[in-house]
Structure 1
């Protein structure tokens, strides 16, 4: 049998995330591992492990070696799960791509990561066609694997994922990686307009899972709804955790309110993740009265504090809310506000999770003591922090200093150790749980012929928590409208990044050195948005 454990002194430790599935399949082979809700496809841990080995065999046959990057442009589905574990088993590095991005953004990620293979869903044929159009020689991808899912015939330049997988070797691959070797590179939007690839190791993900298991009540008989996009660390982490714990994941390919309620009812979901905006929508959805959601024990949420009224409303339904703070660079975990503390610590994101250390520093780098009202930058440390930003030593040096991850978030720390985020140093807007960086939007708007300059700020939104407001100075002789500006942004940005609100202004406030005064803009345009 394949040796799953690496010897470290007198101890033996499982060090490859892919081998979590191997081990789980040996322990509970016939337990239901994952369910595809829309297609009612069900897989035991044994079946999932076999499929994972088959795709691993396919990748090895195509010449993928340990350390090679394999990109995925996949919506939620069993293909994402099995390819994740397959890539890990052979020591390659997964690059999960946000399928909401436009082709130029995806092209940048493929080039920057030097991905040699792209696994993509058939519904993204048009996007991949754009990537291929006149640029095939410019992209690093040598293999294009298409998950047809019953769609039209696979084009000549691609290979059919399902056909190849069915022919793959079911035995465990003998090549692999462990410990500090890279597991995945997850790209986050960059404050300078270019995304940065946060690199995480096998050890990092294992410690992330240990951290989550130490502070959350997940049981082997739980059924976890995976409705958030799997390319997010907020969904990739639980996907791994479910296998580690031996619980069942129920996958929703597309998030819609009726489908979500029906899924919770039919599959007896006990845990799921949702941003506060979604929790609010769910309370007022007509399906809530039509479906039985009594199986739900608790919900994990993040991105923004949950109002007491929302906590109380879910508590009346017998559901507790776990409020977490984390980021891609921390592989998920950071702080956690438990239900028993939520009422007395409104607005807080909790205390540091197990295996996670934190401190707060002032502008001079001096540590601010717990119990001080002075705000400072939040720093995190732990075995689950990222290793680096891929191909970006400058950004790495700025983010990782003496073992501490500088989050860029400004917070306070009360006498009991509870953290409250009060500002974002990086100027980020969080809209519906998605991170939107104004600099990227400003760069796109500045490239519009009708625009002289632009600034983007976040304003409060009842529906989304925050939404971007674009303040635009028109170019001489131009008369841009909301419609023309929005269409320009739609042509150059992923849909969720496109501002819905625009305001034409005479000028933007700047200091004597020419620096844009964002605080002044926030004072002038406090919101809220009309939605």
Structure 2
């Protein structure tokens, strides 16, 4: 049988038709696998009725919902290509991605009518969209588009004819663009299946599990756990958007067993009163991705009996890279862990030669879950995937036991007087200054050294900090040439939806001052 990811849902519905599959908290919608699959079939047939066929790109601009995942599996079944769109982008940014991907059908929700109107106002040549599909109430549907519910009502629930298999593209997910314009990572039916396989095989999953999808579904850290849940035959639970108080209530009421979050989400959850009286006894583990787990967050979680694990993943790897699990979380603080079961990693020099343990180099990853290419970027694809390995652009070390430690991004490295300085190393130390909420370190031009480090610090609410306090804290904790020459205080740092600091925007903001 040739692999089509849509078959995962069809087969799961055949094996376990009455098992709970998807809980949409916002809409109070509960679907069995049979219902989930029937809805996906209706959606697939509805898309086909407006001309969507194999290879056509279908953009999704929706909040987290049952409809989102029904669309994803519907697109998979008919061999079209899903383009998950970042719900936080403005019209210009969305227009770039829609045009770059060649999206011909755009499905959008009520929350995005205004931004879609702005995109349309740019004119017919701004995008290649032919079908505008409004997934909203009939009375509110835009006059220029199709109504999603009406299309589904007219469609049959029988299985559509399969199209799109194996190495055919399944989705194009655009990177967050922390260092430049976003690039579309092309994932196929095979890479998605292998990502689900390696996640399920590495994580401690059980047939009775209930997985909370805590990130927005346009992100690989949400979409792939939702696919893995279907592979495992477990229940997926999601809310429309992040709400720290609501998450605790959902964890209790739905008996959530596991989730994937970013540290910022968990940090905010630990600030609300619900953490003190919610029953999370069923909650076995949370995987935290997107940034290293701060020691303070690890301690706060452990103090209330919450087990967290560190995950290192990439859009280009369809998610899975490394995982730090079990007792190693406390034993190997700061590590990204070891590679997933069906994934291999190495740390290499500029000639792609493996470096000795403890030596910084570029982290490269190999596995059947690695992207096929960057969309429309053949030279960058060849460079990034040279030698059959995904070159992550992350500087890392590996210890004698095979645990990986992410040091920094290659592009963020500061060269000062010929010395390589990794900002993440400095950020980790400054994060320990009492009263520091967030910190980012970037290079600033220096007539003598070329570049020197500058620390951008966000103080905790109600805390008073000055430059001298920060610099004195650094003394003796790092080499003198690494100590920032300047400390600048800010109200907030520009972040991606997954909590990563957008240093490109930071540099631009500072240069404009």
- TM-score normalised by length of structure 1: 0.80
| Change in CA separation of 1:137 and 1:319 when aligned onto 2, cut-off 3 Å | same
Residue 132 of structure 2 aligns to a residue in which SS? strand
Deviations 1:8-62 (A, max 9, x none): xxxxxxx111110000000110111111112211111111111101111111111
The answer (yes or no) to whether the contact 1:64–1:92 under 8 Å persists in 2 is yes
| Change in CA separation of 1:518 and 1:509 when aligned onto 2, cut-off 3 Å | closer
Q: Are 1:420 and 2:405 counterparts? A: yes
Deviations 1:443-484 (A, max 9, x none): xxxxxxxxxxxxxx999668997566899xxxxxxxxxxxxx
For structure 2, the 5+ residue unaligned runs are 414-422, 456-483, 493-513
Select the residue among 11, 29, 51 that pairs with 1:41: 29
The answer (yes or no) to whether the contact 1:222–1:269 under 8 Å persists in 2 is yes
Residue 119 of structure 1, CA deviation? 0.5
Residue 314 of structure 1 aligns to a residue in which SS? helix
The answer for the alignment partner of 1:525 in structure 2 is 486
Q: Structure 1 residues 401-410 or 289-298, which shifts more?
A: 289-298
Q: Are 1:329 and 2:325 counterparts? A: no
Residue 173 of structure 1 aligns to a residue in which SS? coil
1:168 and 1:518 map into 2 onto residues whose CA distance is: 62
Residue 195 of structure 1, CA deviation? 1.0
The answer (yes or no) to whether the contact 2:313–2:321 under 8 Å persists in 1 is yes
The answer (yes or no) to whether the contact 1:103–1:130 under 8 Å persists in 2 is yes
Deviations 1:317-361 (A, max 9, x none): 443212110110001101111121122211111111111111111
1:201 and 1:396 map into 2 onto residues whose CA distance is: 15
| Superposed counterparts of 1:96-495, under 5 Å | 96-148=84-136, 150=137, 152-190=139-177, 193-369=180-356, 372-427=357-412, 466=438
Deviations 1:110-160 (A, max 9, x none): 111111100001110000000011413431010011110x47521211111
State how many pairs are aligned.
450
2:388 and 2:65 map into 1 onto residues whose CA distance is: 36
Residue 276 of structure 1, CA deviation? 1.9
1:173 and 1:244 map into 2 onto residues whose CA distance is: 20
Q: Structure 1 residues 221-230 or 75-84, which shifts more?
A: 221-230
Q: Are 1:64 and 2:64 counterparts? A: no
Residue 35 of structure 2 aligns to a residue in which SS? helix
Residue 521 of structure 1, CA deviation? 3.9
Q: Structure 1 residues 221-230 or 358-367, which shifts more?
A: 358-367
Deviations 1:263-292 (A, max 9, x none): 111111111222223223323321112322
Residue 124 of structure 2 aligns to a residue in which SS? coil
Residue 82 of structure 2 aligns to a residue in which SS? strand
- TM-score normalised by length of structure 2: 0.82
2:436 and 2:79 map into 1 onto residues whose CA distance is: 39
| Change in CA separation of 1:21 and 1:314 when aligned onto 2, cut-off 3 Å | same
| Superposed counterparts of 1:56-95, under 5 Å | 56-95=44-83
| Change in CA separation of 1:529 and 1:344 when aligned onto 2, cut-off 3 Å | farther
Select the residue among 505, 509, 515 that pairs with 2:445: 509
1:423 and 1:408 map into 2 onto residues whose CA distance is: 9
Residue 217 of structure 1 aligns to a residue in which SS? coil
